[in-house]
Structure 1
Amino acid sequence: MVEQDIPKLYDTEDIPAEKKVIYQKWAIPQIGFYWFIAELDRKENIAYGYANLNDDLFAEWGYISIDELKENNATLCREWKPCAFEEAQKIIKQYRRDQNRG
């Protein structure tokens, strides 16, 4: 997955949220924060995606500064494979179940 494959900002605005493709996942796993990236402005390093700051109730779609993610020690999950948001949510739920077991 290369950044050039990620749609530009607003390119997926006609696609319902649950069907948007999530191209990247950034995370701070120690505190349960993660960000899903669906669109990216490479020049400004601003993304559109879904942010969950360890609170499913207040998680939301919005604009995300990649520079701020890096400044706050979020890491790009290199093993992430692009998938629809619905599938990404299932992956997160399974990951949390697995974490709680071990």
Structure 2
Amino acid sequence: MEDEIPKLYETDGIPAEKKVIYQKWEIPQIGFYWLIAELDKKENLAFGYANLNDDNFAEWGYISLDELTENKVTKCHSWKPCSFEEAQKKMQQYRRERHLR
């Protein structure tokens, strides 16, 4: 699966809502999640979307996967690749089901 994830900068020309999200990392107890669209496996650095349970301050940026694992963030192994637009719908449903903001 990680072999399918584009390298950093490979999706630059694709609008955010159309980018494919290949991985989701999360701290489900507090509603934090990171959606990964690009990956540099050598540096363990990703580009994606971070939402720390606040849609108003969520943003696209670079994410250290080492930092995520050091902070006990877990990768969702059941995640299936989908567009960012679809990922947002999944996350809204997930939050409703768990009564998160």
Taking structure 2 as the reference length, the TM-score comes to: 0.97
The residue number in structure 2 matching 1:16 is 15
The residue number in structure 2 matching 1:58 is 57
Please list the CA deviations of residues 55-75 of structure 1 after superposition, one character each: whole Å capped at 9, or x if unmatched: 100000000000000001000
The residue number in structure 1 matching 2:82 is 83
Deviation at 1:30, TM superposition (A): 1.1
Q: Which blocks of at least 5 consecutive residues in structure 2 are unaligned?
A: none
Question: d(CA) in 2 for partners of 1:66 and 1:97?
Answer: 27
Question: d(CA) in 2 for partners of 1:41 and 1:34?
Answer: 19
The residue number in structure 2 matching 1:25 is 24
Calculate the aligned-residue CA RMSD, in Å: 1.0
CA contact (8 A) 2:23 2:37 kept: yes
Question: d(CA) in 2 for partners of 1:31 and 1:76?
Answer: 15
- Are positions 1:42 and 2:21 aligned together? no
CA contact (8 A) 2:21 2:36 kept: yes
Equivalent positions of 1:66-77 (< 5 A) are: 66-77=65-76
Describe the SS at the equivalent of 1:50. strand
- Percent identity, aligned pairs only, is 73
Taking structure 1 as the reference length, the TM-score comes to: 0.96
Question: d(CA) in 2 for partners of 1:57 and 1:87?
Answer: 19
Describe the SS at the equivalent of 1:31. coil
Runs of 4+ that moved beyond 4 A: none
CA contact (8 A) 2:31 2:95 kept: no
Choose between structure 1 and 2: higher helix proportion: 1
Deviation at 1:100, TM superposition (A): 1.9
